């Protein structure tokens, strides 16, 4: 049984690919490459590829995901379902995509880490720790165990723990409310204290070797004397901020790193000490400047948020479960609130990662997006076209193979009867267009039942543990007063997200005006 359909790569309003699609394109290209050993002068580099190999590979890219399972009606018969993804693009477009991989810090030159241009030929590249982390999540979801890929994932370079930023599923825009930004800031500043370098030259260097884990915060100078003659503690340059964000979070473009840094300013977590013209004491209202010469310090409020100095007393969470305005009656209501709140979702996902059950949340959110798109398409009459039915059914097979099929890489713990019903439906042959649409309706219904089952599992097991975990209960308590309607200790003077000045934007999104076509 083979499902294929065609669609264009999803684009945002500023003409760039959706982050998830872009990461899937990157991972698919890496799975398709040999990632072999290459020699540069007298040194051999493992798991590498040339720029020519990458461009040629993207010119005609194909990835198939297969799942073999016994037929529910006849266990002696093996049924294989396959979903195929292909990308096709011209050579110039392939080079542009590879350039975006470099800009997003997915790949880097092996002999010149600061190289920012992806050449047509003559250079050797390797995955960064960030790129390896993204590839690992893709392989786990799709059950990829190819030896050349596993060698990379099992290598000492697989060290990154990325900050997974929350995004709007329809627009791909980052969540930028104060609480979400504070949670990102805790990782940015360093959970175990400042990432102090012994000298100013070291803290301001272009070396990215310190940003390989995502746990260590931005590089700061313990003491820095500026032109006004004053000495400032724990300062960092604007460039270090965007370097940390692009290396240690799931952002894929420079504009987003500047936006997040600007929000650190807006919410009073950092302050500008010197601008890029080396003028001291500019003040907190200046736009963020991602240069080597703009100096920033962490405010007292920022130090409290990241736990460097004592936090203010907050209400006990253990007995009320009232944090973040969370309902106090049932775990179902609390989980509903978590799923609707980007900041809580970010924390809850991190908790589930440590608990080794993140697939429950991923499945719930993916099915929510899938069923929302299905009902929207049904209402608009889109399914009158066979290609739309085929494309939606192909997406359903992708979800099934990742989360629900027996032996799938992220197999969920659901009711045995429901699992058999899903297996029977997904392995049933499709004879004509009418049966294809009827089959899709059945699949959507079964997915919604599976989603309800996973919701109950998270609410009864994961939510109580999440709320009791000391690592998260402290953070949840801090935002109790704000969401419950009481006063906040800080209120930004700006309404809405800050605008991003032209001088901090890098390459234009116009490079994405002709995106590659994806066949799924």
State if pTM tops 0.75: yes
Tell me whether residue 282 is in a domain: yes
Q: Are 500 and 255 in contact, with CB atoms under 8 Å apart?
A: yes
Whether the predicted pLDDT of 1 surpasses 50 = no
Q: Residue 316: its pLDDT value, please? A: 42
Average pLDDT over residues 83-108: 86
Mean pLDDT for 421-447 is 83
Q: So what's the pLDDT on residue 12?
A: 87
The alpha carbon of 438 is separated from its chain's Cα centroid by a whole number of angstroms, namely 34
Q: What is the model's pLDDT at position 447?
A: 94
pLDDT for 483:
34
Instruction: With respect to residue 205, please indicate whether it lies within any of the assigned structural domains.
Output: yes
Instruction: Mark whether 132 and 212 lie in a shared domain.
Output: no
Is residue 133 a contact partner of residue 161, using CB atoms and an 8 Å limit?
A: yes
* pLDDT bucket at 79, cuts 50 / 70 / 90: low
Q: Are 290 and 241 in contact (CB under 8 A)?
A: yes
Average pLDDT, the chain: 80
Which domain, by its residues, includes 353? 323-484
470 domain residue, yes or no:
yes
In a shared domain, residues 80 and 187: no
**How does strand 43-50 pair with strand 124-127?**
antiparallel
Low-confidence winner among 2-16, 250-264, 266-280, 291-305 (lowest mean pLDDT): 2-16
Residues 116 and 185 both lie in one domain: no
pLDDT tens digits, 383-418: 888 888 888 888 888 888 888 887 777 889 888 899
When pLDDT is cut at 50, 70 and 90, the band that residue 77 belongs to is low
Residues 143 and 259 reside in one and the same domain: no
| Residue 152 is assigned to a structural domain of this protein | yes
151 and 229 housed in the same domain: no
CATH number at residue 471: 1.10.167.10
User: Does the pLDDT value for residue 311 go beyond 70?
Assistant: no
Cα-based torsion angle of the residue sequence 369, 371, 377, 378 in order, rounded to the nearest 10 degrees: -170
Contact indicator for 240, 204 with CB cutoff of 8 Å: yes
CATH code of the domain containing 197? 1.10.10.10
Give tens-digit pLDDT for 354-363: 888 999 999 9
Question: What is the Rg, in whole angstroms, of the alpha carbon atoms belonging to the chain?
Answer: 24
Number of domains present in the structure of the chain:
3
Closest CA to 259 of 349, 180, 365, 206: 180
Does 222 lie in the same domain as 149? Answer: no
427 and 374 in a single domain? The answer is: yes
Provide the CA 410 distance to its chain's centre, in angstroms.
Answer: 18
Any domain includes 173? no
Whether 474 contacts 311, CB under 8 Å: yes
> Quick check: is 36 in a domain?
yes
Whether residue 199 is contained in a domain is answered as yes
Q: Which of 66-80, 359-373, 413-427 has the highest mean pLDDT?
A: 359-373
More confident residue, 194 or 61: 194
User: What's the gap between Cα 117 and its chain centre?
Assistant: 24
Which residues does residue 235 pair with via DSSP β-bridges, in sequence order? 221, 297
Give the pLDDT confidence score for residue 500 in this predicted structure.
42
* Higher per-residue pLDDT: 489 or 256: 256
- Of the two residues 108 and 431, the one the predictor is more confident about is 108
Residue whose structure tokens are 């392989």: 139
Q: Are residues 67 and 129 in the same domain?
A: yes
Q: What is the model's pLDDT at position 66?
A: 58
Q: Is the pLDDT of residue 491 over 70?
A: no
Which pLDDT score is estimated for 520?
30
Ordered alpha helix ranges (H), 115-231: 129-142, 147-153, 178-189, 200-203
Q: 365 and 299: one domain?
A: no
Confidence of residue 68 (pLDDT cuts 50, 70, 90): low
Condensed to tens digits (0 to 9), the pLDDT of residues 221-278 reads 988 888 778 899 889 999 999 999 999 999 999 999 999 999 999 999 999 998 887 7
| Average pLDDT value for residue range 75-98 | 73
Residue 513's pLDDT is 41
pLDDT level of residue 74 (50, 70, 90 thresholds): low
User: Which pLDDT does position 381 carry in this prediction?
Assistant: 87
């Amino acid at each position: 049984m083979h499902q294929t359909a065609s669609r264009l790569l999803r684009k945002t309003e500023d003409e760039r690919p959706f982050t998830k699609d872009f990461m899937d394109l990157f991972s698919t290209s890496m799975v398709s490459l040999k990632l072999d050993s290459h020699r540069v002068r007298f040194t051999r580099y493992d798991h590498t590829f040339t720029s020519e190999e990458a461009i040629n590979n993207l010119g005609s890219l194909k990835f198939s995901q297969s799942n073999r399972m016994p037929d529910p009606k006849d266990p002696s018969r093996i049924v294989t379902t396959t979903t195929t993804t292909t990308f096709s693009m011209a050579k110039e477009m392939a080079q542009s995509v590879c350039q975006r991989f470099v800009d997003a810090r997915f790949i880097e030159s092996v002999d010149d880490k600061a190289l920012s241009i992806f050449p047509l030929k003559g250079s050797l590249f390797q995955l960064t720790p960030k790129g390896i982390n993204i590839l690992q999540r893709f392989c786990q979801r799709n059950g990829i165990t190819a030896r050349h890929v596993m060698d990379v994932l099992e290598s000492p370079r697989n060290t990154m723990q990325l900050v997974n930023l929350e995004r709007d599923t329809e627009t791909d825009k980052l969540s930028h409310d104060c609480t979400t930004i504070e949670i990102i800031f805790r990782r940015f500043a360093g959970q175990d204290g400042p990432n102090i370098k012994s000298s100013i030259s070291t803290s301001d260097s272009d070396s990215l070797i310190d940003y390989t884990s995502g746990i260590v915060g931005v590089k700061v100078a313990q003491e820095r004397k500026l032109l006004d003659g004053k000495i400032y503690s724990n300062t960092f340059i604007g460039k270090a901020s965007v370097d940390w964000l692009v290396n240690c979070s799931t952002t894929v473009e420079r504009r987003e790193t500047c936006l997040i840094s600007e929000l650190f300013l807006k919410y009073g977590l950092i302050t500008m000490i010197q601008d890029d013209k080396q003028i001291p004491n500019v003040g907190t209202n200046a736009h963020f400047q991602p240069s080597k010469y703009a100096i920033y310090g962490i405010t007292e409020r920022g130090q409290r948020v990241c736990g460097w100095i004592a936090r203010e007393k907050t209400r006990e969470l253990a007995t009320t479960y009232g944090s973040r305005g969370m309902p106090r009656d049932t775990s179902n209501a609390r989980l509903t609130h978590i799923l609707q709140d980007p900041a809580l979702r970010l924390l809850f996902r991190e908790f589930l990662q440590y608990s080794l059950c993140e697939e429950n949340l991923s499945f719930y959110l993916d099915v929510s997006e899938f069923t929302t798109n299905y009902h929207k398409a049904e209402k608009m009459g889109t399914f009158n076209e066979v290609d739309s039915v085929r494309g939606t059914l192909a997406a359903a097979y992708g979800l099934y193979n990742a989360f629900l099929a027996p032996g799938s890489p992220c197999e969920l713990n659901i009711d045995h009867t429901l699992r058999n019903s899903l297996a029977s439906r997904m392995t049933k042959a499709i004879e004509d267009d009418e049966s294809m649409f009827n089959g899709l309706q059945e699949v959507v219904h079964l997915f919604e039942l599976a989603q309800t089952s996973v919701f109950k599992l998270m609410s009864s097991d994961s939510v109580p543990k999440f709320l009791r975990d000391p690592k998260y209960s402290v953070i949840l308590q801090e935002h109790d007063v704000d969401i419950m309607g009481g006063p906040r200790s800080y209120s930004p003077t700006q309404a809405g997200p800050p605008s991003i000045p032209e001088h901090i934007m890098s390459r234009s999104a116009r490079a994405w005006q002709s995106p590659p076509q994806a066949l799924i």
